[in-house]
Amino acid sequence: MLHTTRAVVLKAIRHGDNTVVLKAFTELLGVRSLVVRVGKKGGGGHAALQPLNRLELVVHEAPERDLLAVRELRVAEPFVRIPFDAVRGALALFVQEVLYRSLRGEAADPALFAFVQEALRAMDEVEDVRNFPLIFLLRYSAEQGFLPVAPQPGEDHFDLVEGEFVSGAVRHGHTMGAPLSGALASLLPIGFDQMHQVTIAPALRRDLLDHLLLYFRIHMEGLGELRSPAVLHQVLG
């Protein structure tokens, strides 16, 4: 059966001279593995298969095979800034690592696919991207069902285990202090188009990113420690 679908490249592994195996998040078929013939008519080239590239594919699905065969491929929305901007390149490494480790399931998820498209577009187009990693994780947590619950008056500490703000004494070692919790609360209603409106000191921003990644590891099985945040801390300051 042939399917035409949009897709986001998560990882590409070369097999031999003319074959690449992709892991991609597709709009119609969820997360799938695909085999691409490169250097031949209709197969596309290696440049099109870079992580996070937004593709339009025609794929053949055979019941007896795990891999989808790519019959046609084109880059649907080429990135303009990311390939030439070190900061956005570091952001792309971060987003790719998070998505590759966390996206699962061979089922369509239109809302999640639309979110990923929105995030990639913002990463490439928005002028001020210093808060992008924080907004990306918060919006992604909403798509995954564990967005932090907004605080009520007097709730000034965020409980990473319960996913809610609390007042008074710290419950356990996974409770954020008041300054960090306040920064988190200020970002909860913010979207990608508004992230430039929030000013967070660099040290606080780094600390908040580390705590949000801990929050993800608590609530998302299999995410593990990421390598890319160390690079982000260097380029974002």
Query: Does one domain contain both 39 and 90?
Result: no
Q: Both tokens of residue 4?
A: 């035409």
User: How would you write the pLDDT of the chain (237 residues) with one tens digit per residue?
Assistant: 899 999 999 999 988 778 999 999 999 999 999 999 987 544 446 789 999 999 999 999 888 788 999 999 999 999 999 999 999 999 999 999 999 999 988 889 999 999 999 999 999 999 999 999 999 999 999 999 999 999 999 999 999 999 999 997 677 889 999 999 999 999 999 999 999 999 999 999 999 999 999 999 999 998 999 999 999 999 997
* Predicted TM-score (pTM) of this structure: 0.93
Query: Does one domain contain both 117 and 204?
Result: yes
Query: Does one domain contain both 197 and 90?
Result: yes
Euclidean distance between CA atoms 121 and 199, whole angstroms: 22
Euclidean distance between CA atoms 121 and 169, whole angstroms: 41
Single residue among 40, 75, 110 that ends a domain in this structure: 75
Parent domain of 107: 82-236
